[in-house]
């Protein structure tokens, strides 16, 4: 496994996104636990989750609880695993997503996540998504307060634009360690944020890097260059996609979602795939 940095912590260059194991279409929990264990066996030491990754109204934090269970039942050493979670996005249980970026709510959400994860301090806590009803500086200010109080060890933001990245970095006193934005062959709109993170040496965590649930399996069919390069190397288009992202910048740490052991095993192997300059140019067009 190749390693990269989030703040002062070294993590695997490929992380595991937990969302598919807890929302619509989620598998039984035993398969999900096997998936998390397979990730750990492959050297993955970054697991991304959120309190909103659940299905039912009374199911808050399902994914956090699942990850805590999987880590506690794993036979190996998990002391180097960084669990990153998020607050500020909610799911009422009817399939919709809502927002609450108020400082009071974020602090309550963090306390609930601490209990579900069974830790004294969350390794990386991220403001999930800007809330138009709450000034951005107030939401990030709550994350700063949690950092100062020792409730979280590192602070990040998600779904942010360049202006918000710079503002968050200022509010956090230079302690912003990560930005988690959507980025994939299907969605390249976060190029400016990726470039800014490279400039500021902040980890950039692409979510849905393979195109998201329901789309990842057909990545090669939707984007021919990835299928072409995959055929040349005898690997999956998905593995090519992650290798392409890793080559973009040393701050990039993709977090592909998975709900089957084979999926995360294939993703983790992207660190061993070396692409030529011509291939990278082809994939970046």
pLDDT tens digits, 155-203: 999 999 999 999 999 999 999 999 999 999 999 999 999 999 999 999 9
Q: Looking at the domain assignment, is residue 14 inside a domain?
A: yes
Active-site residue flag, 53? yes
Among 216, 171, 164, CA closest to 193: 164
Q: Looking at the domain assignment, is residue 233 inside a domain?
A: no
Q: Which residue has the tokens 């500086």?
A: 137
Report DSSP state, residue 242: H
Q: What is the mean pLDDT of residues 29-57?
A: 97
Among 2, 39, 81, 41, CA closest to 271: 2
**Could you tell me which residues are beta bridge partners of residue 83?**
47
Alpha carbons 16 and 12: distance in angstroms, whole number: 10
- In the prediction, which pLDDT does 127 show? 98
Q: For position 86, which CATH number holds?
A: 3.20.20.100
The SS3 assignment for 178 reads: strand
Q: Which residue has the tokens 């291939």?
A: 279
| 8 Å CB contact between 177 and 154 | yes
Q: Looking at the domain assignment, is residue 106 inside a domain?
A: yes
Q: Looking at the domain assignment, is residue 19 inside a domain?
A: yes
- In the prediction, which pLDDT does 95 show? 87
pLDDT over 90 (residue 105):
yes
Alpha carbons 275 and 281: distance in angstroms, whole number: 10
- In the prediction, which pLDDT does 198 show? 98
pTM: 0.97
Q: Looking at the domain assignment, is residue 13 inside a domain?
A: yes
Q: Looking at the domain assignment, is residue 276 inside a domain?
A: no
The SS3 assignment for 40 reads: helix
Q: Looking at the domain assignment, is residue 232 inside a domain?
A: no
Report how many domains make up the chain. 1
Alpha carbons 114 and 129: distance in angstroms, whole number: 20
- In the prediction, which pLDDT does 11 show? 98
Which residues in the chain belong to E strands, given as ranges? 3-6, 9-12, 16-17, 46-48, 82-87, 89-90, 98-99, 124-127, 155-158, 176-182, 203-207
Cβ count near 260 (within 10 Å): 16
- Domain range for 158 is 3-218+251-260
The region, left, alpha or beta by phi > 0 then psi within -120 to 50, assigned to residue 61 is left
- In the prediction, which pLDDT does 72 show? 98
State the chain's mean pLDDT as an integer.
Answer: 97
Q: What is the mean pLDDT of residues 245-273?
A: 98
Q: Looking at the domain assignment, is residue 77 inside a domain?
A: yes
Q: What is the mean pLDDT of residues 65-87?
A: 98
């Amino acid at each position: 496994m190749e390693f990269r940095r989030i703040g002062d912590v070294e993590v695997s260059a490929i992380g595991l996104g937990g969302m598919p194991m807890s929302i619509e279409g989620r598998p039984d929990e035993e398969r999900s636990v096997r998936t998390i264990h397979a990730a750990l066996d492959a050297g993955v030491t970054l697991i991304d989750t959120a309190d909103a990754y659940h299905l039912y109204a009374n199911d808050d934090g399902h994914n956090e609880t699942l990850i805590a269970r999987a880590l506690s039942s794993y036979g190996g050493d998990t002391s180097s695993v960084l669990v990153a979670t998020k607050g500020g996005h909610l799911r009422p249980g009817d399939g919709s997503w809502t927002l609450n970026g108020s400082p009071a709510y974020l602090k309550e959400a963090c306390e609930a996540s601490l209990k579900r994860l069974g830790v004294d301090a969350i390794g990386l806590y991220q403001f999930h998504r800007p809330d138009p009803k709450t000034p951005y500086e107030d939401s990030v200010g709550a994350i700063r307060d949690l950092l100062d109080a020792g409730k979280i060890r590192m602070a990040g933001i998600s779904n942010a634009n360049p202006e918000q990245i710079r503002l968050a970095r200022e509010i956090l006193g230079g302690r912003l360690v990560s930005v988690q934005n959507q980025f994939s062959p299907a969605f390249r709109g976060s190029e400016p944020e990726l470039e800014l993170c490279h400039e500021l040496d902040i980890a950039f965590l692409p979510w849905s890097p393979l195109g998201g649930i329901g789309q990842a399996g057909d990545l090669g069919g939707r984007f021919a260059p990835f299928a072409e390069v995959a055929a040349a190397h005898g690997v999956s288009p998905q593995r090519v996609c992650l290798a392409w992202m890793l080559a973009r910048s040393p701050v990039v740490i993709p977090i592909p979602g998975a709900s089957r052991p084979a999926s995360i095993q294939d993703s983790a192997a992207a660190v061993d795939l070396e692409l030529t300059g011509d291939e990278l140019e082809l994939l970046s067009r």
